[in-house]
Amino acid sequence: METGLKNRVAIVAASSQGLGRATAEAFAAEGCRVAMCARNKETLSAAAEKIRSQYKTDVLAEAFDVTDAPAVRDFVNAVVQKFGSADICVTNAGGPPAKGFLATTIEEWKRAVELNFMSAVYFAHQVIPHMQKKKWGRIIAITSITTKQPVADLVYSNAVRAAVVGLVKSLANEFGKDGILVNNVGPGYTATDRLKELARSRSAASGQPEQEIFEGWAADAPLNRLGEPRELADTIVWLASERASYITGQTILVDGGLYKGL
Ligand SMILES: NC(=O)c1ccc[n+]([C@@H]2O[C@H](COP(=O)([O-])OP(=O)(O)OC[C@H]3O[C@@H](n4cnc5c(N)ncnc54)[C@H](OP(=O)(O)O)[C@@H]3O)[C@@H](O)[C@H]2O)c1
């Protein structure tokens, strides 16, 4: 399938491992120039170097926290200075802690809003003017199945990610005239370190062995297995491509059928 993405500039936030990293790699495989970030410099540099050498493409990697608005601004400026544009922006961040409501704290609520909502605002704010100039752009938010179906003990995610869906729809409405398409992808249970972290915390709370927790998650989906990061990444690449040129304002789940609604 011809994606039309060769030489496009793809920013992928929170991308030293897991879903972000798989996405950065998938764009590099399409011939995009890629900009990556994460907090830990060593892990990020190693991931960037691997992608650079494997796909023989330009990669810009900078270590910062996506909740730091001035750092996001400086990063996007650096991307545009180096590559000349910011065509595609995938917003992403680490997940919030797994908790039921009464275990939550006000400080953690504020942190979840910063991490999983405001970080998307910061990126969108910076990239949209560049996309408007080119009359072409793609913003894709990585969120969660929780945008459609709340998950027990993930109350921060259940609540905060809904705001991202509102943002995505609003941006799609406002900037469609500029050729900017804005969508949201919601992973189901996908085999990354984040999922191991969730299994650990659930196991600590319930006493159920982690292996059983993984098996339960896999069995919840009609496809009867966990997702692979590459499966989410391929969906994001498709959404960014010319093959998805009439899709905007949508939430697309990549969940093996886990979502139970119509
Ligand atoms: N995996 C799943 O099954 C699943 C399902 C639904 C939703 N999600 C959501 O999808 C997102 C990505 O998940 P994942 O499984 O890929 O997680 P992961 O394996 O833990 O990877 C998270 C990545 O984000 C970076 N990161 C975390 N916090 C950051 C911050 N404040 N600033 C900059 N970079 C940051 C991490 O690097 P540093 O630590 O070095 O910063 C790492 O590169 C999360 O929000 C998660 O909740 C995942």
Cα(130) to ligand 1 centroid in Å equals: 26
Q: How far apart are CA 203 and CA 88, in angstroms?
A: 38
Cα(177) to ligand 1 centroid in Å equals: 32
Pocket of ligand 1 (CB under 6 A): 14-20, 37-40, 43, 65-67, 92-95, 115, 142, 144-145, 187, 189-190, 192-195
Mutate-to-test residue for ligand 1 from 17, 68, 74, 117, highest number of ligand atoms within 8 A of CB: 17
Q: Please give the number of the atom of ligand 1 that sits closest to the Cα of 146.
A: 6
Q: Shortest CA distance to 123 belongs to which of 157, 81, 79, 160?
A: 79
pLDDT in tens, 121-142: 999 999 999 999 999 999 999 9
Cα(133) to ligand 1 centroid in Å equals: 31
Mean pLDDT throughout 195-216?
94
pLDDT in tens, 162-184: 999 999 999 999 999 999 999 99
pLDDT at 114 over 90: yes
Average model confidence (pLDDT) for the chain?
A: 97
Q: Please give the number of the atom of ligand 1 that sits closest to the Cα of 18.
A: 16
pLDDT in tens, 2-39: 999 999 999 999 999 999 999 999 999 999 999 999 99
Cα(17) to ligand 1 centroid in Å equals: 8
Q: Please give the number of the atom of ligand 1 that sits closest to the Cα of 190.
A: 3
Q: How far apart are CA 83 and CA 33, in angstroms?
A: 8
Transcribe 37-50 into DSSP letters: EES-HHHHHHHHHH
pLDDT in tens, 212-252: 999 999 999 999 999 999 999 999 999 999 999 999 999 99
Q: Which residues contact 206 (CB under 8 A, 6 or more apart)?
A: none
Domain range annotation of the chain: 9-190+228-254, 191-226
And the tokens for 175? 């900037």
Its CATH class, for the domain covering 9-190+228-254, is alpha beta
% of the chain exceeding 70 in pLDDT: 100
pLDDT at 1 over 90: no
The residues annotated with a catalytic role in the active site are: 156
Q: Shortest CA distance to 9 belongs to which of 66, 63, 61, 83?
A: 83
pLDDT at 149 over 90: yes
